[in-house]
Structure 1
Amino acid sequence: MRLAILGASGHGKVVADAAGLSGWSSMVFFDDAWPEIAKNGFWPVVGDTATMLREVSNFDGVIVAIGNNSTRKAKQHELAASGARLVSVIHPSAVVSDFAVVCAGSVVFANAVVNACAEIGEGCIVNTGAVVEHDCVMGDFAHLSPNAVLAGGVKLGPMAWVGACASVKQLIDVGEGAMVGMGAVVTKSVPSAVTVVGNPAKVLSPSSQ
């Protein structure tokens, strides 16, 4: 089973590691900094995006390993249009309910929990130790950082980003493209395209995404 990963970054290393542990036998990277970058940790970088698009049929699966939500969305759509077989990667130590949905292009890292009836959209990141409780919905290309927690019934909008160790109260909506700062405690719904910080979280500024 051969996996092509777009994005030779630190995030990409964690994706490759999780993929190997979950059964992929071979992982190679593509990155637009190639050929200046020829290796990402233990894994080779063998081409750029254009190369990957030409060679997608040679791989059993492809995934975009880019942390920036907007860039990840654009690259995943480009790959999908080429007919690439987009896959998700779930670390074997993650706990994902049989009654949850994880869509193509998403990653669920070590010790994360995705509980019953949760829905993880396309191209999402559920990072190390994060918790997505029952009946939550993560919109496409959203990012849940390490140890962040979505309590039951939270709706996280497309391309929203929740910082490390932040928590969102049950039944709260976080709007499209919103950013929740590290360690923030969200007790009220968050509008689209803003950044909130603090405990309780308050609007700091428009989102920079």
Structure 2
Amino acid sequence: MRPLILAGGGGHCLSVLDTVHRIGYYDEIIILDVAERVGGTVSKYTIWGTEASLPELYGKGCRDIMISVGSTASTAVRRAIAEKIERCGFSFVNLFDPSAVISAEATLGKGIFIGKNAVVNAGAVIGDMAIINSGAIVEHNNFIGEYSHVSVGSVLCGDVEVGPDCLIGANATVLPGVHIGKNSIIGAGSLIYRDVPSGSKIYGGNR
């Protein structure tokens, strides 16, 4: 048996599950979530337990885990879950959809999810726990900081730097060479022409 633990049973978990099925490596899926959702279902899977179950699962020989909580306004929940997981000794796996195009010249951290039809080009660096969601394009020599989320259909042109804990909203475009500071939110559909200071929230663009 090759079990995989998914920490989080919301909408993002459905996307992760679909990629897990398409990869075909794991034959047992264990989903954890908050107490009030235990016993409910995600797709065909019953939510097995909560984070409190982690030591028990480790004792049973489970090792591979992915945080399947998405992020919108904040990455705090994902970070808190990761800290608990690390204390238990699990191994964060990377899950890349088979339809994604990932350059052999890209550098990838741990715990990364790359969704359907996403592109990660040569020279890109993707930090730990990042999400590169369906159809996103991360062009050459990009740097994506840890826990950042590049949402569906976003386009990051060449030499873009995204700090940790950022959200690049759906269908946003970031022009070449732009630096986006940590803890920033770029709203859906925004067009980013110039550097963005840390902690910024930009909706629409910054011409």
TM-score range (shorter-chain normalised) is over 0.9
Q: How many residues align?
A: 201
Q: Which segments of 5 or more consecutive residues in structure 1 lack a partner in the other structure?
A: 203-209
Q: What is aligned with 1:141?
A: 147
Deviation at 1:60, TM superposition (A): 4.1
**Structure 1 segment 29-178 matched on structure 2, within 5 A:** 29-34=31-36, 36-57=38-59, 58-68=61-71, 69-178=75-184
1:201 aligns with 2:202: no
Q: Is the 8 A contact 1:76 1:105 kept in 2?
A: no
**How big is the alpha-carbon RMSD for the aligned residues of Structure 1 and Structure 2?**
1.4
What SS does the corresponding residue of 2:15 show, helix, strand or coil?
A: helix
Determine the C-alpha separation between the residues in 2 that align with 1:110 and 1:41: 18
Determine the C-alpha separation between the residues in 1 that align with 2:37 and 2:83: 24
Determine the C-alpha separation between the residues in 2 that align with 1:35 and 1:52: 16
What SS does the corresponding residue of 1:110 show, helix, strand or coil?
A: coil
TM-score, normalised on structure 2?
0.92
Deviation at 1:34, TM superposition (A): 4.7
Deviation at 1:43, TM superposition (A): 1.7
Judged with a 3 Å threshold, the aligned counterparts in structure 2 of structure 1 residues 186 and 33 are, in CA distance, closer, same or farther, namely same
Judged with a 3 Å threshold, the aligned counterparts in structure 2 of structure 1 residues 35 and 117 are, in CA distance, closer, same or farther, namely same
Determine the C-alpha separation between the residues in 2 that align with 1:147 and 1:35: 30
Determine the C-alpha separation between the residues in 1 that align with 2:77 and 2:63: 23
- One-letter amino acid matched to 2:67: V
**Structure 1 segment 182-193 matched on structure 2, within 5 A:** 182-193=188-199
TM-score, normalised on structure 1?
0.91
- One-letter amino acid matched to 2:32: F
Q: Percent identity?
A: 29
